[in-house]
Amino acid sequence: MTEITTENYLSEAKRAIKNQVLQNALADLQHRFGTETALAYQNLPEGPELRFKAHDIRMHTIDNLDVILDKLAENVRKNGGHVFFANNGKDAIEYSLRIARKHNVKRVVKGKSMVTEEIGLNSAFIESGLDVSETDLGEYIIQLAGEHPSHIIAPAIHKTRNDVGKLFSEKMGIPYITDPAKLTQAARKALREKFLAADMGTSGCNLACAETGHITTVSNEGNIRMATTMPKVYIAFMGMERVAARLEDHDVLIRLLCRGASAQNMATYVSYIGGPRYPGQADGPEEFHLVILDNGRSRILADEDFREMLCCIRCAACLNVCPVYGKIGGHSYGFTYSGPVGAVVTPLLVGINKAKHLCLGETLCGACKDQCPVDIDIPRMLLALRSKLAEGDSVWGVTPADRKEKSMYRAWSWMISHRGVYDLFLKMAAFGQKFLPQKEGMIRWLPPPMNGWTQSRDMKPIASESFLQRWRKGS
């Protein structure tokens, strides 16, 4: 399992905000993709309303996931592929290591995959003595640096060209260069050798199609095609929800995926892989394995409040518009998934109490929902998570996060049901605030727990007479 550091949300966020390089990169990323993706939806032949249709398609699929996965498995096997259903990361890792041993695999090339990040496949492979290379340029940079991706689609946005130049010079023994084209060429050369020498390729799965028995992978670099074409064994890993029932559903979703991810009409490469090499074909893997992973997803499926989250196709469109992500970057979220999607998925996968800051640390501004290609109501689910944190929840094993706050709100709810008491409270507060430092009619400092406000902002004092007091007098 990948290390979970969701508790450090506040300190990591603070660190990210102070990192000016990261701030510029995030601003640039959001400026480009945020606007362009919205425009790409507008330019769809069906218009942006296609997102709502896509939502219905996804929801209907998830509601019938059992029979659709059965069909997928049946058809992949018919095409000559192997299907393995993994209850958790451990099962998936054990299975893939077994395949690796069977084929005497030494070198593995990986296509970018969030789900293998989620289960920590890399470190498990490395511990077993395999030579593992990430092959997406961004992921390769991250791997050389010994870090984790900070964005689903652009894993290395937190690195500058100078960082990459230094890293390549150090790890690849090449002269220090900073031109992105030359750095890309250096990686192309190094990774080409890896592709050609690899015995096994792995990738994720963007979206499988049950009726044909294919998985689809999407990339711009061509690394996934390399990893799925050149080595003799290929294993694809998919989260169990990443399936479309039929081609007509696949049509809607793949077009929205490309637009959501990078405002493209179509990614450079989309591959439909449905089995191993057939006799007479010159290339392709001898064996094709599809690992379908649960790892906590069936628990999400069982809860009506959160089932909708399984509609997510991991395009990262929400990251590109989230004003919170735009400030704190991906690492603050402390697990594989960042941004709005991470704020819901991570607590459900690693524990709601453990990841409470992810549930609470947003403004519920709703930009994510509007940009989501399948119109997932992320704010609704953040609210549902918050209610579990507030009240506790036996199904998810949540204990109330803040009992003091809970009693505060209880008292508050009684007070606001009684206007007289409320007026009295306002009177006291208006009196109390006179002792606070003020300047030009604005309060400069508030005591804890309100001091977060005044660390950067002033506050207008409570009026000596409320509107309703004035109204009572006036009418």
Partner 1 sequence: MNENKKATLFIQCLVDTIYPEVGEAMVQIFRKLDVNLSCPTNQTCCGQPAFNSGYRKEARKAARHFIQVFENAEMIVCPSGSCVTMVRHHYPELFTNEPHWLQRANSAAARTYEFTEYLVDVLGFEDVGAKYHAKLTYHDSCHLLRGIGVKEQPRRLLSHVQGAEFIEMNNSDQCCGFGGAFSVKYADISTAMVTEKVKNIIESGADTVVGCDMGCLMNIQGMLSRMGSKIKVKHIAQILSST
Partner 2 sequence: MATSKHAEFIGRIKKALGHPKEDDQRMAEFFNLPISENDRTILEHIKNRTPEEKQKLFEVLIEAAKPINLNVIALPDVSSVTSAIVDLVEQKEPEWGSKKSVVAWNHPLIERLNLEEALSQQDVPVYVAELKNEEEQSSSSSDERKRLRQQIIDSYIGITSADFCMADAATLVMRTRPGQARSVSLVPLIHIAVIRYDQIIADLKELYALLKWDPENHKEGLTNCMTFISGPSKTADIEANMVHGAHGPREVYVYVISDKD
* Residue 449 interacting entry, from partner 1, partner 2, none, C-beta within 5 to 8 Å by type: partner 1
Considering only residues 4 to 33 of the shown chain, the ones binding partner 1 according to CB under 8 A are: 10, 13-14, 17
Paired tokens of 341: 């999607």
| # of chain residues touching partner 1 (CB under 8 A) | 63
Measured at the alpha carbon of residue 4, what is the angle toward residues 138 and 166, in degrees to the nearest 5?
A: 30
Q: Is 101 in the site for partner 2 (CB under 8 A)?
A: no
Task: Please tell me the distance from the alpha carbon of residue 389 to that of residue 397, in angstroms, as a whole number.
Answer: 10
* Residue 426 interacting entry, from partner 1, partner 2, none, C-beta within 5 to 8 Å by type: partner 1
Q: Is 274 in the site for partner 2 (CB under 8 A)?
A: yes
Paired tokens of 471: 């109204």
Q: How far is the CB of 397 from partner 1 (least distance, A)?
A: 16
Give me the 422-461 binding string for partner 1, x by CB under 8 A, dash otherwise: x---x-------------x-x------xxxxx-xxxxxxx
Q: How far is the CB of 356 from partner 2 (least distance, A)?
A: 24
Paired tokens of 63: 């509601």
* Residue 226 interacting entry, from partner 1, partner 2, none, C-beta within 5 to 8 Å by type: partner 2
* Residue 102 interacting entry, from partner 1, partner 2, none, C-beta within 5 to 8 Å by type: none
Q: Is 137 in the site for partner 2 (CB under 8 A)?
A: yes
Region of 107 please: left (phi>0), alpha (psi -120 to 50) or beta: beta
Q: How far is the CB of 130 from partner 2 (least distance, A)?
A: 20
Considering only residues 369 to 398 of the shown chain, the ones binding partner 1 according to CB under 8 A are: 369-370, 383, 385-391
> How many other β-carbons are positioned within 10 Å of the β-carbon of residue 412?
12
Give the one residue of 20, 281, 394, 413 binding partner 1; rule: CB under 8 A: 413
Q: Which residues of 375-408 are buried (b: 16+ CB within 10 A; e: fewer)?
A: bbbbbbbbebbbebbbebbeebebeebeeeeeee
Q: How far is the CB of 32 from partner 2 (least distance, A)?
A: 7
Considering only residues 378 to 437 of the shown chain, the ones binding partner 2 according to CB under 8 A are: none
Give the one residue of 363, 424, 431, 447 binding partner 1; rule: CB under 8 A: 363
Q: How far is the CB of 414 from partner 1 (least distance, A)?
A: 8
Report residue 371: phi and psi, to 5°: -95, -10
Instruction: Give yes or no for a contact between 101 and 240, defined as CB atoms under 8 angstroms apart.
Output: no
Contacts of 28 (CB under 8 A, 6+ apart): none
Q: How far is the CB of 415 from partner 2 (least distance, A)?
A: 42
* Residue 330 interacting entry, from partner 1, partner 2, none, C-beta within 5 to 8 Å by type: none
- Closest C-alpha to 288, from 43, 53, 66, 77: 77
Task: Please tell me the distance from the alpha carbon of residue 34 to that of residue 320, in angstroms, as a whole number.
Answer: 5
Q: Which is nearer to partner 1, 43 or 451 (CB)?
A: 451
**Overall residue count recorded for the chain in this entry:** 475
Q: Which is nearer to partner 1, 42 or 185 (CB)?
A: 42
Considering only residues 57 to 86 of the shown chain, the ones binding partner 1 according to CB under 8 A are: none
Q: How far is the CB of 59 from partner 1 (least distance, A)?
A: 18
Q: Is 172 in the site for partner 2 (CB under 8 A)?
A: no
**Span of 9-17, 189-197, 311-319, 382-390 interacting with partner 2 by CB under 8 A:** 189-197
Considering only residues 295 to 334 of the shown chain, the ones binding partner 2 according to CB under 8 A are: 298-299, 301-302
Q: Is 366 in the site for partner 1 (CB under 8 A)?
A: yes
Q: Is 471 in the site for partner 1 (CB under 8 A)?
A: yes
| # of chain residues touching partner 2 (CB under 8 A) | 101
Measured at the alpha carbon of residue 381, what is the angle toward residues 379 and 383, in degrees to the nearest 5?
A: 70
Q: Is 160 in the site for partner 1 (CB under 8 A)?
A: no
* Residue 410 interacting entry, from partner 1, partner 2, none, C-beta within 5 to 8 Å by type: partner 1
Report residue 282: phi and psi, to 5°: -80, -30
Q: What does the binding site for partner 1 look like in residue numbers (CB under 8 A)?
A: 10, 13-14, 17, 323-324, 327-328, 360-367, 369-370, 383, 385-391, 405-406, 409-410, 412-417, 419, 422, 426, 440, 442, 449-453, 455-463, 465-468, 470-472, 475
